[in-house]
Each structure stands twice: as structure tokens, then as C-alpha cells.
């Protein structure tokens, strides 16, 4: 029987691009006023616009007030950081170029270019797809879920690693949960030199934590069957 986890299903680039700023706690903003780091100062609306609340002495606010049209050119950068301590903890970076306008108490950022960089490389995200996409439904609970799995259930992580091909575990010194989304769980396989990521795909996407828990139990059951199959003694003989 073949390995059911050789195929991969992962969030589309637009979904990942919407998820990163929805869960990031800080963002770096570059404008004519320089580069600034804002912590806990942004939120994302349903269309993907980013609303910033910045201090009165912010160079970005000054640029918005002084810009000829009131819309300075701005670049926003967000980092997606793994909640579990692992090597190379930044899982993705998102850059958005666009315009900022002052509306009531907020600076409203409208992107004209969206670039997502992950381990697989950088991709230019279509603006219409970005606007239409929604953040991953598990994003708000991901940090709690992963830290609980890593800290309280290391035996489950070890069992899940049995779903990874043996060649992918060659030289592994530690396996840690790196990410979880509606499509599956990603494990970080760390070696003495370097590391690699392996994705375990759910049998169907999960829309909430309860469904994710059920999908994880399915993976654990599959891992248990793999462990049992590997433990079976080989039968030799001439047959007949």
C-alpha cells in the first residue's frame, strides 16, 4: 500500500497572504518618513485593507498629512513566526506595496502589490484573489494548538513522525510541530546540519478546531497502523 501523505494540499498563496497579517502582532512600515515598527497597531478588514493606528509623532502620519494627495506610497512588511521554538522560526514574510490615506482615526492602507515569500520561494499574489480570500479559520487558535501539542503531547508528535518516509527522517535529531492550518499539519525535521519540513495532509479540510481535532485523530490512527505494520515479523519460506 502506498504512502497516503506523498501528495500535498496547502493553503493557496492568497489565503496565506491574508492569514499572515491577520495573526501578526507587529508590522514594519516604510514610507517617505523612513522605516517604523508598529506593535499591536493594525487590523485587517474583510476586503484585505489594513487599518493602522499610529502615534501622533509617527513619520507615516506626517507623510499622510503632507502628501500632495494625502496618499503617500507605503510598503508594509509582516513576518509569520512559528509559535513553537524551532530553527529558522520565520515561516513566511509578506510585503504589501500601496497607498495610505487618513480616514478618521485610522490610516487605511490599500495594497497595489502583494508578495508572499515562503520556503518554496516568492510569489506575486493576484490582487483580486487577495481581496476575495479569507484568513485560515484555525489561524487564531494555531499558537495554542501547536504549543499544547509540542509541550504536552510529545509522544503524539513522535507517532505522527512515523507517517514521514524513513528517508526524510534520516539523521533527524528532533521533530517539532511547525504549523497547522485547515488543510494539514507541518512537521519540522531538524538534523545536526540543516532541517526540512514535511506536510501531513488532512483527509478533508477543517473549518474549526473541533474538526481539526478529528482530523488529527485520523492521522494518529494512521500512524498507529504504520507502527503496527512495521512491528509485524516477516514471514519467510517456500510457500505452497
Shared-domain flag, residues 79 and 105: yes
Q: Examine residue 5 and state whether it is found in any structural domain, yes or no.
A: no
Q: Give this prediction's pTM.
A: 0.85
Q: In what order do the strands lie in the sheet with 172-181?
A: 172-181, 184-191, 195-201
Q: Work out how many domains the chain is built from and give that number.
A: 2
Helix (H, G, I), strand (E, B) or coil at 17: helix
Classify residue 2: in a domain, yes or no.
no
Angle at 144 between CA 140 and CA 149, to 5 degrees: 135
pLDDT in tens, 102-140: 888 889 999 999 999 998 899 999 999 999 999 999 999
Is 3 a member of any domain?
A: no
Question: In this predicted model, what pLDDT tens digit does every residue of 91-111 receive, in sequence order?
Answer: 999 999 999 988 888 899 999
SS3 (DSSP) at 109: strand
Q: Closest Cα to residue 211, out of 203, 220, 222?
A: 203
The CATH number given to whatever domain includes residue 86 is 2.30.110.10
Percent of the chain with pLDDT over 70: 89
Domain end residue (candidates: 77, 105, 132): 132
Amino acid at each position: 500500500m502506498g504512502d497516503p501523505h506523498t501528495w500535498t494540499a496547502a493553503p493557496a498563496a492568497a489565503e496565506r497572504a491574508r492569514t499572515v497579517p491577520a495573526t501578526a502582532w507587529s508590522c514594519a512600515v516604510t514610507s517617505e518618513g523612513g522605516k517604523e515598527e508598529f506593535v499591536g497597531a493594525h487590523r485587517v478588514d474583510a476586503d484585505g485593507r489594513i487599518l493602522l493606528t499610529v502615534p501622533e509623532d509617527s513619520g507615516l502620519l506626517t507623510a499622510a498629512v503632507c502628501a500632495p494627495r494625502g496618499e503617500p506610497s507605503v510598503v508594509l512588511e509582516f513576518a509569520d513566526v512559528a509559535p513553537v521554538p524551532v530553527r529558522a522560526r520565520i515561516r513566511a514574510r509578506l510585503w504589501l506595496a500601496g497607498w495610505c490615506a487618513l480616514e478618521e482615526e485610522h490610516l487605511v492602507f490599500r495594497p497595489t502589490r502583494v508578495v508572499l515569500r515562503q520556503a518554496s520561494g516568492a510569489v506575486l499574489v493576484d490582487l483580486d484573489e487577495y481581496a476575495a480570500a479569507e484568513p485560515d479559520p484555525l489561524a487564531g487558535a494555531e499558537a495554542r494548538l501547536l504549543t499544547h501539542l509540542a509541550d504536552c503531547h510529545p509522544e503524539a508528535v513522535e507517532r505522527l513522525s512515523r507517517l514521514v518516509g524513513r528517508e526524510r527522517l534520516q539523521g533527524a535529531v528532533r521533530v517539532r510541530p511547525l504549523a497547522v492550518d485547515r488543510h494539514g499539519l507541518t512537521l519540522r525535521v531538524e538534523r545536526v546540519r540543516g532541517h526540512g519540513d514535511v506536510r501531513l495532509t488532512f483527509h478533508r479540510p477543517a473549518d474549526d478546531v473541533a474538526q481539526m481535532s478529528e482530523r488529527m485523530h485520523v492521522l494518529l490512527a494512521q500512524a498507529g497502523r504504520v507502527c503496527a505494520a512495521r512491528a509485524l515479523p516477516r514471514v519467510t519460506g517456500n510457500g505452497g
